[in-house]
Structure 1
Amino acid sequence: MRLLRSTDLALRVLMRLAVAGDSSPTTREVAEAMDVPYTHAAKVVAELQHMGLLTARRGRGGGLSVTEEGRAASVGALVRAFEGDGDVVDCEGTATSPACPLSSACRLRGALRRAQEAFFATLDPVTVADIVTDPTGPLLLGLSPKPS
């Protein structure tokens, strides 16, 4: 299974903020440190803020910080939220792609769905706080924006 870029970025943003301590980097600083476009980071930050996992303060002295809910958030729940609950394969088809001719009797779709749920279930007990312990935390702190 391959994660969407937004899922990967959401996890990395939360990880970075979880080890930020008293500093409150801006969305732009986080985007630069992670070498991603600001617009992508801003969309992910807005979604994480909407989910209550981080706070964003504007203006002088503002920045991003992870909430206690964000630290305790299940990685499995985060991945589900960003990936959605769709199937691994699209058997129904779309306007530009016909439905699979095997869809009425296919066993692959169910097997893939069970594998996807097993993937999520493996991540469910893991929290953001768990994934930023040593040696990851100090490495995250070493990330800094690239010089302009």
Structure 2
Amino acid sequence: MRLTRFTDLAPRVLMRLAVEKDGPPTAREVATAMEIPCTHTAKVVSRLQHLGLVEVRRGRGGGLALTAAGRTASVGTVVRELEGSGDVVDREGGTACPPRSACSPRGALRQAQEAFFAALDPLTVDTPTGAPTGPPLLGLSATRRAD
């Protein structure tokens, strides 16, 4: 199973926000700390806000914060939501498989995809923020700029 870069970044942004101790960081600060493009981070944050997982506060003292739903969100549910329910196999060009409704490889791939998501279901955003993952995430907080 291969995730899009967008889907890969979303749980990492959520985990980064879960360990924040110095107040709400801006999207730019998160992007800088995680060494990802600010424009891409902004798109991820916008989608996470739309899903009700992140709160965005504007103005002085503003920034990003996890909502209660964001803190307890299942990583599997987040990945499912971001990856969508499209076909497992994306045929580039050409026509769809003629026996599409009875295609056994497609069904097996769909089951494999669901098994992948199911393996992520028990993890919440808070789960990976403990040891050994939490300390490196906390180290990212130290890269914030002084106001």
Same fold by TM (over 0.5)? yes
Count matched residues.
Answer: 143
Residue 120 and residue 104 in structure 1: after superposition, are their counterparts in 2 closer, same or farther (change >3 A)?
Answer: closer
Q: Percent identity?
A: 64
Gaps of 5+ in 2: none
RMSD: 1.8
CA distance in 1, matches of 2:50, 2:95: 36
Tell me how far 1:98 sits from its aligned partner.
Answer: 2.1
Q: Which residue of 2 aligns with 1:7?
A: 7
Equivalence for 1:120:
117
Residue 3 of structure 1 aligns to a residue whose secondary structure is coil
Aligned to 1:85: 85
Greater than 3 Å deviation, 4+ residue runs: 101-105
Deviations 1:45-84 (A, max 9, x none): 0111111111111111111111121110001100001100
TM-superposition CA deviations, 1:78-128 (whole Å, max 9, x none)? 0001100112103xx57x422234536531000000111111111112111
Is 1:64 the equivalent of 2:64? yes
Distance 1:19 1:69 in 2: 15
Alignment of 1:99-138 (within 5 A): 99-101=96-98, 103=100, 105-138=102-135
21-30 vs 103-112, greater mean Cα deviation = 103-112
SS of equivalent residue, structure 2 residue 100: coil
Structure 1 SS opposite 2:95? coil
CA distance in 2, matches of 1:103, 1:42: 37
Matches of 1:34 and 1:141, distance apart in 2: 12
Distance 2:144 2:9 in 1: 16
SS at match of 1:64: strand
Distance 1:105 1:66, change over 3 A: closer
Is 1:50 aligned with 2:50?
Answer: yes
Q: 3-state DSSP class of the match of 1:128?
A: coil
Distance in 1 between the 2:14 and 2:75 partners? 10
